[in-house]
Each structure stands twice: as structure tokens, then as C-alpha cells.
Amino acid sequence: MKLWKKLTGVCALVAAVAACAHTEQSATNAAQQTLPDGHFTNPLFANGADPWLEYWDGNYYLTTTTWTSQLVMRKSPTLAGLSEAAPINVWSDTDPARSWNFWAFEFHRLNGPNGWRWYLMYTAGVHGTLDHQHLSVLESAGDDPMGPYEYKGHFMPDEWNIDGTYLEHDDKLYLLYSQWQGDEQLNLITEMENPWTLKEGSPKVVITRPTLDWETSGRKVTEGAEILKHKDRTFLIYSASYCDTPDYKLGMKELIGSDPLNPDHWKQYDEPVFQRGNGVFAPGHNGFFVSPDGTQDWIVYHGNSKEEHGCGSTRSVRAQEFTWTEEGLPNFGEPIPEGEPVKMPSGENGPIKVSVQGVQQQLVNRDGQCLVSNGGRTSLAACSGSSANWVLDSTADGAYRLAHVASSTFVDENEKSGPWVNTDTQRWSVTTDESGWLTINNRDTGGALGGENSQWRLAPQGDVAVMSVQSGKALAADGDNAVQDAWTGLDTQQWQFSHTEEGFYQLHLAQNADQCLTLEGNPIVPGANAALGSCDEAWAEWAVEPLGDGSVQLRNRHSSLALNVDSCGLANGANLAQAPWLDTACQKFQLRESQ
């Protein structure tokens, strides 16, 4: 177990490196800001091992290893924007059997037993050792990669297994994962019954074994298998050699037969396909994504800036386009040097018509009229029909875009709605006054939506999950008490927003309009407990205040204090109370569609 002692030492270094990583990230952000339009530089941000990235419904979504008990996701309409996007905890765990050292998250959209869902697979283990790392799977409630997610299970809890991914082939689903056998780390494959259950009796077949010289630098390692499909061909890209060396790299196999469980049906390519170069060391543990317009293929991976860096938090996120050879093989080229301008993925600047994911809301003015869009023109009308539904979508840079659901368009400075073109004319800042009313100003012109005297309130539609940014857990009713709990889709976790007066709302259980979120005891003071009570109580009114990072603050009307997760806890059942606004993750929430 010398490897685990080595890696445990790496874990201990993570906290020590954090300050350095923060400095590197600040420098990265500054570099991005000085580039010409339409370009970014690598690395996207520091401390970003094992990246997984998807472009879906107008946004990039990114996860990286955290080493914590929290699963963090970032979201942005631009690739460069991920460098400053707020990290949102979409899941956390306190089960001692699986709640430490979260590694290598991947989220895949699959047509599972509950329809199309995102299945988020990750590696986790127990406190104080890396000897018990194993895979777990979450399932999304709907089609939003940000969740909410429900825990579905783990495949092999009593075996060491990491770096899971899916392969879909001939209407069958397979799990690929990595495991140590003796002094070799291997990639294996087995068939699945569904995205969270292995098929009973399916063999676990070794699909990569480190036998080539370039697979054995430092240790004999093949891990991090990823699937790349192109023109009816299926490639397996994997990471080779020990991650603590500068020679960590990518190798490749190709499925040349019909049976993924038959090792003879996989062709080994004898040379690495991506390795150190141009001052980038140990490039590996990658993913793939397609540009917004679908014309380019991109690789996302982690790399190090110095030869002596290893498996810790020095690894940073990088991305670059790759091409295909005349023979139909991927050509990843060499890592792009740090600081070299890279042209953004094709189509980022649009024009794109897309329905972004998020809670649908109405924008209602003081006269009770809604902002609607018809034929590319916005106007005020009755708050009914699909033309009045919007998604307030964070652009990861302190602003929002007003996405019209029915037409898949976005409002510009002239208050017309059209395709996304990625300019400040379609970005809006939001401020909230003491009465809960919002002012929405165009970033380009500074003009207010609806004119200088217009004020708005956001009216969330349908059943909503209120998710803690700190824990990724849902606001829930536990009897008459308000707590946080892991998402399971229960009625006690689904809320509706009912307008009272001014810009304030009651939050009541979707299945019980008589039970509202309120305060008990002495509701004036900090620490007053959040509870379920009569909707007639004066303390059952809240302002929903959008924040610059895409989350919201829930501020009580009468105390002017914010809803807060006690002690920033991660555990199920952690209590909620009110507290002075301190701008912490414990006081921030994400509104999510609950189904």
C-alpha cells in the first residue's frame, strides 16, 4: 500500500497549496481579461484535476476533483467564463463510508429508467485513507446538469475502484473503471443493467494493462478511460503512467469488433496520443466536448506547469481543439503553451437560439403586468401563457441574460428578443431594494428594463427545489421544522412561491398551501429558527434576491435577515435559521426545477 501512503501525502499538501493556487487563479483571470475578444488562454483555472465538461442547452458545465465531501460544478455560456464562474456545490455527503476525497466527477445524459436524465458518477471513500475509494452514481431530477441530484447507489462498495465512465454500444450500457491488481493499475469493463446497477453475472474484463514502456513511468498505470466516438468508430482514450511524474499521458485503443467485453475486439495503438510538451507537463485525465455550433471537437484535460509538480492541487484545467487524420484517427497535437491566445470554440458568439436550463419565472412589474415576447418584440401583457415565462440565466461574470423560454431568444438593450450573440447588450445586472423590487439594468447602456421607473419582481413558476449552495442539499420540512436534506423528490422538498405584496413572497409546500416557511421564537434576532407555520404569520414573507453569482438570498421581510444553514453544515437534518447577511455559501441558494 505504498501508493496510498504517497497519495495520502499528496492529500495533506492540498491545503498547503491552496494559497498558491488562489494566486495562480488570480493571475489566470487577469490574463483572460487582457486578451483580445474571442480568445482565452490556458490554463482556464488552477487546482482543477480530472476535468469533465459538457456543452448543453447554451451553457458549458464543468466539474473537477475537489478532495472534499462536496461535488462542485461551474456553469458559463463561454468557455473562458468558467475561469470566474461561481463553484456551486450540487451534492455533498456525510455517510462515513463514502464521504471523503471526492475525485473525478463525470456527468452523462442517458435515457435511463426515468427518461432522459443526467447521471453523475464520482469516486469517494472514507476519512484518513485512500484505500477504500469507490464509485457512486447520482441521478438528476430533470434535464438540468446542475440538478437537483438524488443518490442512486454504488457498484462495488467493497472493492477499490475509481475513474468510472459509460460506454453505450448496440443498445447496451457498459461501465469502464480503473482498479489495482497486484502492482498494475488496470482499466476494466462490465455490462450494466441501468446507469447505477451492474448486470448480474456480467464478467469484469481487463481492457487496458500497462505493458508498454510509456505506460510504466513511475508506476504501472492505466486509468481514466474515456470514450470518443466519430463516424461509427469507437475509441478508448486512457491515462497512462503515474500521475506524480511529468510523463503522465494519454494512450488509445479502438473497438474493432462487436463485443466490448472481448479484449481481442480492442486494438491497441502503440504510441501515446497526447503527452508533455510546450512547457506543459503530465497532461491527462481528459474529457471531450463539441463546440456550440457542433463543428469542432475539443479536449479538456489537466496539466502541470512545472516538471516537479505531481498529483496534487497544482494540476490545472486546459482545453484545446483537436482534429482528425485522413485515416479517421484523432489528432490531439501537443498541449498549447500557457498564455498563448486560443480562439474560443466555434459558435460561442452565436447567433444561437437555445432554451437554457433553469427555473421558469415571470417578470412582473408594479402594475401586475408581465414582460412577454412575441415575434422578437417585448411588451407588457397579462401574466398568462408561455410568452410570459423566462429563465434568469447567470452569465458567470456578475450579470444575467433574460432567456425567453418559448422562443429560445434573449433580450437586448432595445428590449427586443433575438438569438444569443454574446455581447454586453444582452447582459443585465440585477439589484434589489428593501421592498423586494428588482431593478434590471443593461450592462452595455446602463438603461433599466422597462424604463427608468420600472421595478420588477421574479415569480417562480411551478414546483421548485431550493438548494443550498454550501451543501447541495434541499430546503425541506421535517415536521414543523425547516432543515436541509439530500434530494429525494419528496413532497416535503418541493416549494411554490406565492406573491403577497410589494416584492415579497411566501414559500409554501407544493402539496400544502397552508404551511409556509416562517420564523419562530423571537423572529427579530439573529438565530431565530426557520420553521413551517401558518401562512398568515407576519414572518412568513421573504424577498428573493438574485445575486451576482447566479444564486439567490432569501431575506425575511420583517427582520431583514437572511436564511442561513446553521454552522455551514453538510449533514442531512442541519437546521436553518436567520442570520445577518455575510455573503457566504451558507446563505446562498439555487432555485431548481424539481422535476
Q: For residue range 410-450, what is the model confidence (pLDDT) as tens digits? A: 999 999 999 999 999 999 999 999 999 999 999 999 999 99
HSE-up of residue 368 (Cα within 13 Å, Cβ side)? 4
Judge contact between 349 and 421, C-beta under 8 A.
Answer: yes
Return the sign of the alpha-carbon dihedral for residues 354, 356, 361, 363: negative
**pLDDT surpasses 60 at 461:** yes
**pLDDT surpasses 50 at 323:** yes
Q: pLDDT for 261-307, tens place per residue?
A: 999 999 999 999 999 999 999 999 999 999 999 999 999 999 999 99
- Other C-beta atoms lying within 10 Å of the C-beta of residue 415: 17
What's the mean pLDDT in 342-356? 96
C-alpha cell at 119: 447521471
The span from the CA of 537 to the CA of 534, in Å, is: 6
- Other C-beta atoms lying within 10 Å of the C-beta of residue 183: 9
Residue holding cell 445575486? Answer: 547
Q: Please report the pLDDT score of residue 448 as a whole number.
A: 96
Q: What band does 33 get if pLDDT is binned at 50, 70 and 90?
A: low
What's the mean pLDDT in 540-548? 97
Q: Please report the pLDDT score of residue 109 as a whole number.
A: 98
Q: Which residues of 459-490 are buried (b: 16+ CB within 10 A; e: fewer)?
A: bbbebbbbbbbbbbbbbbbeeeebbbbbbeee
The span from the CA of 110 to the CA of 329, in Å, is: 26
C-alpha cell at 330: 484523432
**pLDDT surpasses 60 at 32:** no
pTM of the entire structure?
0.94
Q: What is the mean pLDDT of the chain?
A: 93
The span from the CA of 386 to the CA of 372, in Å, is: 9
Q: Please report the pLDDT score of residue 20 as a whole number.
A: 39
Max CA pair span of the chain: 73
What's the mean pLDDT in 109-120? 97
Q: pLDDT for 151-178, tens place per residue?
A: 999 999 999 999 999 999 999 999 999 9
Domain 361-458 and domain 462-593 have a common topology = yes
Q: What band does 595 get if pLDDT is binned at 50, 70 and 90?
A: confident
Report domain 462-593's class. mainly beta
Question: Domains of the chain: which residue ranges?
Answer: 2-343, 361-458, 462-593
Q: Please report the pLDDT score of residue 7 as a whole number.
A: 40
What's the mean pLDDT in 216-243? 98
| CATH of the structural domain 361-458, one choice from 1.10.10.10, 3.40.50.300, 3.90.226.10, 2.80.10.50 | 2.80.10.50
**pLDDT surpasses 50 at 15:** no
- Other C-beta atoms lying within 10 Å of the C-beta of residue 142: 17
For residue 510, CA distances in Å to 159, 488, 514, 539 come to: 41, 15, 10, 19
Coil, strand or helix at 429: strand
Residue holding cell 486509468? Answer: 223
| CATH of the structural domain 2-343, one choice from 3.40.50.700, 2.115.10.20, 3.40.50.300, 3.30.420.10 | 2.115.10.20
Judge contact between 44 and 303, C-beta under 8 A.
Answer: no
The span from the CA of 361 to the CA of 281, in Å, is: 46
